[in-house]
Amino acid sequence: MRAILLESKGAPPRLLEDADESLLDGEVAVDVTHSSLNYKDGMALAGRGIARTHPLIPGIDLVGVVTESADGRFAPGEAVVLNGDGLGETRHGGFATRARVRPDALVRLPEGMTPERAAAIGTAGFTAMLSVLRLEDDGITPESGDVLVTGASGGAGSIAVALLAARGYRVLAATGRAEENGDYLRSLGAAELVDRRELSEEVGRPLQSQRWAAAIDGVGSTTLVNVLAGTRALGTVAAYGLAQGPDLPATVLPFILRGVTLAGINSVECPTDRRERAWQVLAAELDTDLLASMTTTIGLADTLPAAERILAGQVRGRTVVDVTR
């Protein structure tokens, strides 16, 4: 088994060509073909508090083929995808050629979806889809008004922009590198760019001009406060990330005077029925060419230097990890 391993807290990650398979524990055995590199993976590889047990194989996504199953819901030969569920945090994850996983969060690959495409979607696309579905479940429609996406050039943000635009929403994409990423975000469907400094540099008034009907936020902290303050009455903000920080130095005014809803998006402990719904919609709606245009593929050995770049904000779109190379 080839794997990246975090052997102990504070120790640098190691790429092992013959890792010990006895580390693995789970009812379903999977030959892993692909994973993906996410911001959370970068944090784990850098020793920044994501790994909660050691030794640990990081990688919060995995795609592969079942080879053995003690659970009747899955059979050998079935292609599967797994996001979250503690992978790369409390359970061994996808940065290895083998895995043993719990069946409860496992999803069969939708018909016609390749492993590479599933990995390109990964937790980022899965989270983006959950966010879009939450807005729609709250009654936000294209007629409601603009939808803001923060962290728009990142993995989840990029896919959120593409999904919203494909569904007819007018999307505002917040980015700190408009010259570099403007054409890219417009190609995904963004109608307008917003300078992220307007949102991130300082907390503004608790109630600001009502600029968007809803938002999808992957940044947190000051940015999320200003996003909430600029949301129209009865709007929804789906929050999934904390790239700027976990704090929320806000007031209750957007909630009690405008009826704004702050909806947390948890892809780690997502129920099976919601997982299956999100993956079926992704298979049906996410443009394959558009996804390919935002995706880069690397080998397992390339993951370590790529992790440094994703933490430095130098990675755009999605990064697939082909663990077989």
> Which of helix, strand or coil describes residue 142?
helix
- Does residue 117 lie within any of the structural domains? no
- Does residue 235 lie within any of the structural domains? yes
- Does residue 279 lie within any of the structural domains? no
Structural domains of the chain, count: 2
Domain check: are 53 and 146 in the same one? no
Domain check: are 94 and 130 in the same one? no
CATH number for position 73: 3.90.180.10
Neighbouring residues of 41: CB distance < 8 A, sequence distance ≥ 6: 50, 58, 59, 60, 88, 95, 303, 307, 310
**Among the listed residues 9, 94, 19, the one whose alpha carbon sits nearest the alpha carbon of residue 46:** 9
**Among the listed residues 136, 126, 121, 106, the one whose alpha carbon sits nearest the alpha carbon of residue 266:** 126
CATH number for position 151: 3.40.50.720
Q: Is 263 exposed, middle or buried (0-12, 13-18, 19+ CB in 10 A)?
A: middle
> Which of helix, strand or coil describes residue 104?
coil
Domain check: are 244 and 142 in the same one? yes
- Does residue 166 lie within any of the structural domains? yes
Domain check: are 61 and 140 in the same one? no
Q: Report pLDDT for 180.
A: 87
Domain check: are 99 and 217 in the same one? no
> Which of helix, strand or coil describes residue 115?
helix
Q: Report pLDDT for 313.
A: 83
Alpha-carbon distance 175 to 246, whole Å? 19
Q: Which structural domain, as residue segments, surrounds residue 25?
A: 3-109+294-322
Cα 68 off chain centre by: 28
Walk along the chain (325 residues) and give the pLDDT tens digit of each residue: 999 999 999 899 999 999 999 999 999 999 999 999 999 999 999 998 899 999 999 999 999 999 999 999 999 999 999 999 999 999 999 999 999 999 999 999 999 999 999 999 999 999 999 999 999 999 999 999 999 999 999 899 999 999 999 999 999 999 988 888 899 999 999 999 999 999 999 999 999 999 999 999 999 999 999 999 999 999 999 999 998 999 999 999 999 999 999 999 999 889 999 999 999 999 999 999 999 999 999 999 999 999 999 998 888 889 999 999 9
User: DSSP E strands: which ranges in 182-266?
Assistant: 190-195, 212-217, 231-239, 261-264
Alpha-carbon distance 99 to 93, whole Å? 7
- Does residue 288 lie within any of the structural domains? no
* The token pair that represents 288 in the structure block: 């394959």
Q: Report pLDDT for 158.
A: 94
Q: Report pLDDT for 319.
A: 96
Domain check: are 152 and 243 in the same one? yes
Domain check: are 98 and 139 in the same one? no
Domain check: are 65 and 35 in the same one? yes
Global confidence as pTM: 0.91
Domain check: are 100 and 127 in the same one? no
Domain check: are 34 and 132 in the same one? no
Domain check: are 147 and 96 in the same one? no
Within the chain, where are the H helices? Answer: 39-45, 115-137, 155-166, 178-188, 197-200, 221-229, 253-257, 272-285, 288-293, 303-311
